Structure 1
Amino acid sequence: MYPQIITYLLTFINYQEQVIRTLLTLLVGKSMFEKPAETPVNKPYRKLQVDDLPIFEYPEKSNYQLLLEEFLEKSGKPLKPVQRRSTSTPVPKSLKCPKCGAPSDFLYANNGDKGQFQCKVCTCLFSEKNRFSKEVILKCPHCAKTLEKIKKRKDFDLFKCKNNACSYYQRNWNGMTPKEKRLFKENSQAFKLRYQTRQFHIDFLPLAKDSPTLPVVDLSRIYASPHTLGLILTYHINYGLSARKTAAIMQDIHGVSISHQTILNYENSVAHLIKPYVDHYPYELSDQFCGDETYIRVNGRWYYLFFFFDAVKKIILSYPVSPNRDTVSAIKAIDDVLSKFKEIPENLSLVVDGNPIYLLAQHFFVQHNISFDVKQVIGLTNEDPVSKEYRPLKQIIERLNRTFKGNYRATHGFGSEHGSISFVTLFVAYFNFLRPHASLEGKVPVVNPELSGLPTMPARWTKLIELAQRWIVEQRA
């Protein structure tokens, strides 16, 4: 009974649809029997472009009281405050000169009520809304005009050159076709003609590392012996076995009954202990560095692992895990690299892919007087001289990603961000201190006699943990 009713209703609904389409065809004059194609709308957008570094000008500060004394010595008479007429534009009492600090009594309303002022003491020109009392003035590298702030974002302010005579603007405008110029009038946001740059104001001070957080982890209280712990780390980290397979091997081969969750707990404890030692070890570095980001799965979401690597010494220098593939993450990854140097080399270059976040990170460091070069290898083919020259370094970091993925794949992702950081930390410790490398003639990247003299990998893991504990004791002393 019920199936017959459902079949009848479906037939009747289809009949009604045909009637509606016929009526719409008669009214609109267009065939309505063809169902509209459900295809996604391909709306092109302007990709992020990172322009050259701006000109950074640091305004000199002066003291108006000293300037007044100098004027008195030279002229023999004091510099009097501004004598205002009743029709003069008033100057706010709270306003001060951003350059010398002169009070409002010494300030002119330079262009009436349009908001520009001039200091009588130091002749500085400024506006009330856009005074240059900040630490740095940004200027266009093409025309040397001061940039104007046009937008304020969460982590940065966007500045633009609005000079119509700027060579950058003129070159882009003259290079447009008549059709593009018509489209520009209709939708100017689809084109980028003027020079732009970003000034970051994130709560992060580069190269200002706090003293490392020293973990309170007493591995002597775990139920496993040091040799058993070394075996677990060897199977789980060196050979990339999952925690469950590691637990099975410990039971089937070594007769040690242990759960996979206990293995993960051991992993977190050891990583928490060993991370400060790995991060602050005095590495001997070369002059060739490359970086890249890869995907990992954390709590059902895609996260990003940023690797920076000494391509000659085969040492991993930076390995932050971030839920975002953004400029802030790139800044922190590069900062981990820079902190490994006693003194940053003058000709330091970092080879990365075409992601613009690395260029924006470079701009952030330049604002803090930290300079280095960024070489971008674009795409899979060498279509420019930079990509052709630095392609081998990019391939090296890609091989590192594949090596990590070979160890990571068995985990099928991580249940928490803390778990992902623990696994990556132990992988980096293994890669830098314990893993022989073919291009280093079978040696490990960081040669330590206390580790290389041991016959088995479990013993080396145990010794590495001991070295980390010893380092912590020295830091506390």
Structure 2
Amino acid sequence: MIRQLTNPRELKGLAILSQPDTVIQTDKNEWDVRSQSKDAYYHVVRAFQDRHAQQRGQATWTCTCPDHTTRNVICKHIHAVQLSLKIAGDVQEHSTATAIAEAEPKISCPVCKSEKVTKWGNRKTNFGTVQRYSCNDCGHKFVVDKGFCQMKFSPKVITLTLDLYFKGVSLRKIADHLTQFENVTVNQATILRWVRKYLKKLSTYAEKYKADVGNIWHSDETTIFIKKDGEKKYYQWIWNVMDAKTRYLLACEVTETRYVKDARKPLKIAKDAALNVPDAIVTDGLQAYREAIKDEYYGLGRIQNPHIRLKDFETKPNNNILERLNGTFRERTKVMRSLDSAMGAGEFAAGMQTYYNYIRPHMGIDGMTPAQMANIPINLTGNRWETMIGLAVK
């Protein structure tokens, strides 16, 4: 049973294991472990004196790193291998039988829901020509709604505003960008209304699928400024739970306080969003995690208590896998004076979660999105915003 780690080399071993493709098994009792300080691998070997020692699990460990060869101690690379064996490894592959959702879903009649439709000429619009269809059962004539019907502006303009918004551009600058490069005049209130409208559709659609994630999760919390009458500075907490292997953001929840009941909310959401339960949940020193993780996860996985609590946040190794995520959040919040309300904060968190998982490529996973790494059955091509909105509407 893994509890709080205090040995510095064990903590460094966990930090190695938290990153993907750092512990590679080359033989039954041999591994290559990536160095933290340079682009190289050290070779770790496990040896048993005899069959009885193997049955008892009494092994002799060796590593080619300077720490082990000069001091003859169990180094961080050996600890990384031992932890990977104990929690079944973070590089374990999973598979799903769910088919990929089609980028162009099947067309059905909006009146009788029949799929017996045929093409029925074209309709000219301000944004080009669109295909019309006729239902063979009820005779209804229609065009396919891809999420932008009865909108004054084109899908390109609307999705451009969504992308710029989550890349940290202020509403005023987005409006100026549209005026200069798209010859479109849009006020800031309209842009914000688009963001709220489409993010509600996307977040609801994304909740349909469960993520195929790894065995080590990280949890952390950060503050966000809320506009509240009678208070100059009122902050709430955003809780993030992320899988180390796929970088998939399993939960992004807003609460007013940091008690045990608050910590349980994102942990429960993460449990419901994943196909499997973790073997280790890495957190900082916040006391609320101790009871919250025990309440939500105790006895569910291969390890009774999966909580690994790092002694502090400043000393390496730390919970830094979430630091890049917090940086992505700050790209957006630094250009905002505040959020309007707790409801606005919840909408913002849900939108950031959708953007981070489905739209934004992650350099830590070779330019893929976390949703792709987590085998989410959604095929997003080209303009990912427009494609996903079309699927969500369908």
Structure 1 segment 64-463 matched on structure 2, within 5 A: 219-237=148-166, 239-300=167-228, 301-344=234-277, 348-365=279-296, 372-380=305-313, 391=317, 394-447=319-372, 451-454=379-382, 459-463=383-387
Runs of 4+ in structure 1 deviating by more than 4 angstroms, as ranges, are: 366-372, 448-452
Q: Which amino acid aligns with 2:286?
A: N
| CA shift digits 1:82-111 (9 cap, x unpaired) | xxxxxxxxxxxxxxxxxxxxxxxxxxxxxx
Find the residue that maps to 1:410 and give its secondary structure: coil
**Is the contact between residue 226 and residue 345 of structure 2 (CA under 8 Å) also seen in structure 1?**
yes
Say what the alpha-carbon RMSD is for the aligned residues.
2.8
Instruction: State the 1:450 CA deviation.
Output: 6.7
Q: Taking structure 1 as reference, are residues 273 and 368 closer, same or farther at Cα in structure 2, changes over 3 Å only?
A: farther
**Is the contact between residue 267 and residue 423 of structure 1 (CA under 8 Å) also seen in structure 2?**
no
Aligned residues: 241
Q: Aligned partners of 2:163 and 2:177: how far apart in 1?
A: 12
Q: Taking structure 1 as reference, are residues 251 and 314 closer, same or farther at Cα in structure 2, changes over 3 Å only?
A: same
Instruction: State the 1:360 CA deviation.
Output: 1.9
Q: Aligned partners of 2:366 and 2:324: how far apart in 1?
A: 18
Q: Aligned partners of 1:435 and 1:218: how far apart in 2?
A: 21
Q: Which amino acid aligns with 2:159?
A: G
Structure 1 residue aligned with 2:41: none
**Is the contact between residue 289 and residue 309 of structure 1 (CA under 8 Å) also seen in structure 2?**
yes
Q: Which runs of 5+ in 1 are unaligned?
A: 1-50, 53-216, 383-387, 471-477
**Is the contact between residue 159 and residue 385 of structure 2 (CA under 8 Å) also seen in structure 1?**
yes
Instruction: State the 1:223 CA deviation.
Output: 2.5
Instruction: State the 1:453 CA deviation.
Output: 3.4
Q: Which amino acid aligns with 1:433?
A: Y
Q: Aligned partners of 1:236 and 1:374: how far apart in 2?
A: 36
**Is the contact between residue 280 and residue 340 of structure 1 (CA under 8 Å) also seen in structure 2?**
no
Q: Taking structure 1 as reference, are residues 274 and 408 closer, same or farther at Cα in structure 2, changes over 3 Å only?
A: same
Q: Which amino acid aligns with 2:184?
A: V
Q: Taking structure 1 as reference, are residues 329 and 266 closer, same or farther at Cα in structure 2, changes over 3 Å only?
A: same
Q: Which runs of 5+ in 2 are unaligned?
A: 5-145, 229-233
**Is the contact between residue 298 and residue 305 of structure 2 (CA under 8 Å) also seen in structure 1?**
no
| CA shift digits 1:306-340 (9 cap, x unpaired) | 00001110110100111222222211110011112
**Is the contact between residue 243 and residue 411 of structure 1 (CA under 8 Å) also seen in structure 2?**
no
Bigger-Rg structure (1/2): 1
Q: Aligned partners of 1:408 and 1:229: how far apart in 2?
A: 21
Q: Aligned partners of 1:380 and 1:363: how far apart in 2?
A: 21
Q: Taking structure 1 as reference, are residues 366 and 379 closer, same or farther at Cα in structure 2, changes over 3 Å only?
A: closer
Q: Taking structure 1 as reference, are residues 324 and 219 closer, same or farther at Cα in structure 2, changes over 3 Å only?
A: farther
Structure 1 residue aligned with 2:26: none
Instruction: State the 1:366 CA deviation.
Output: 6.3
Q: Aligned partners of 1:414 and 1:356: how far apart in 2?
A: 28
Q: Aligned partners of 2:359 and 2:282: how far apart in 1?
A: 26
Q: Aligned partners of 2:276 and 2:246: how far apart in 1?
A: 18
Structure 1 residue aligned with 2:390: 466
Instruction: State the 1:363 CA deviation.
Output: 3.8
Instruction: State the 1:451 CA deviation.
Output: 5.0
Q: Which amino acid aligns with 1:378?
A: K
Q: Which amino acid aligns with 1:403?
A: T
Q: Which amino acid aligns with 1:248?
A: D
| CA shift digits 1:50-71 (9 cap, x unpaired) | x99xxxxxxxxxxxxxxxxxxx
Q: Taking structure 1 as reference, are residues 463 and 453 closer, same or farther at Cα in structure 2, changes over 3 Å only?
A: closer
Find the residue that maps to 1:359 and give its secondary structure: helix
Taking structure 1 as the reference length, the TM-score comes to: 0.47
**Is the contact between residue 308 and residue 318 of structure 1 (CA under 8 Å) also seen in structure 2?**
yes
Q: Aligned partners of 1:368 and 1:322: how far apart in 2?
A: 27
Q: Aligned partners of 1:332 and 1:400: how far apart in 2?
A: 19
Q: Aligned partners of 1:289 and 1:226: how far apart in 2?
A: 37
Q: Aligned partners of 2:298 and 2:246: how far apart in 1?
A: 30
Between 1:405-414 and 1:419-428, the stretch displaced more is 419-428
Instruction: State the 1:258 CA deviation.
Output: 1.1
Q: Aligned partners of 1:368 and 1:261: how far apart in 2?
A: 49
Q: Taking structure 1 as reference, are residues 249 and 442 closer, same or farther at Cα in structure 2, changes over 3 Å only?
A: same
**Is the contact between residue 298 and residue 417 of structure 1 (CA under 8 Å) also seen in structure 2?**
yes
Q: Taking structure 1 as reference, are residues 460 and 342 closer, same or farther at Cα in structure 2, changes over 3 Å only?
A: closer
Identity rate, percent:
23
